[in-house]
Structure 1
Amino acid sequence: LQDEVIRSAFGESSALVASAQSIMRDNGCHKPSSPSLAIEDNLMVANCSYKANTAWGKEVGWRYGSTVEDVMTGLKVHSLGWHSIYYPPEQPAFIGCAPRNVLDSLVQNKRWGTGLLEIPMSRLCPLL
């Protein structure tokens, strides 16, 4: 039964399930048996559909439905008592694309401005 509960919460990744079981038993993180299995599991978990129909997707994943989902996710995580740190990797992990012209820049800034207006209206607003 415990395995079924963990799979319904964390999905079908054997590595993620094994790691969750290990942590729940206070044994620390589970180490994958081989690098190729670790890569397979990472690709499975990184898939956009991985979190569908799991508690992982509902409680841990990104807060979708907003143009500022990163901010809303951060507010949700902090409202649950988590703390953030700044960790700059040696090699940049994500390099975004800048708007190519003034019109694209205006459209992007409008999206961000509209999205940021959602924050005071949200139940996650830190001012309330």
Structure 2
Amino acid sequence: MMKIKTMASVFLMALPILILSCKKEKADTEKPKIKMNSSIEAAEYKAGETIVFNATFTDNIALSEYDIDIHNGAGHGHGRMMGMWETKISGELSGIMHIIKKEMNIPNDADTGTYHMIVNALDKAGNEAEFVEIDFKIIL
């Protein structure tokens, strides 16, 4: 009888641990966030100059990757036009906060005009951030 009481006591003490350990994690449905730390919007650059990109990416659980897409805004056809500068940069992110600082050199032969920079991010669950669109100009 004593053996049954001991086993029952052990079972009752282990029961809360078993119940708590079986809970499933909540699905990550929160989008990552992008905060630009550098002032590129409406800036003017000359061909051959450098754009300093600085952004903070955050997520509630885990970041995964980022993308920067720069293309000419003329006609917004997103196809490669002669002399128009285009570049795509991708990289990995980790943790819940990650700061990316990059210097992007504008080619010496880049055409003048308005350009778009699209910044985006994903978290480990595949949630996509609200992308950031920045317009800047390349001038003579």
TM-score interval (norm. to shorter)? under 0.3
Judging by fraction of residues, say which structure has more helix: 1
Structure 2 length normalisation: TM-score?
0.18
Relative contact order, CA 8 A, sep 6+: which one is greater? Answer: 2
Tell me which structure has the larger Cα radius of gyration.
2
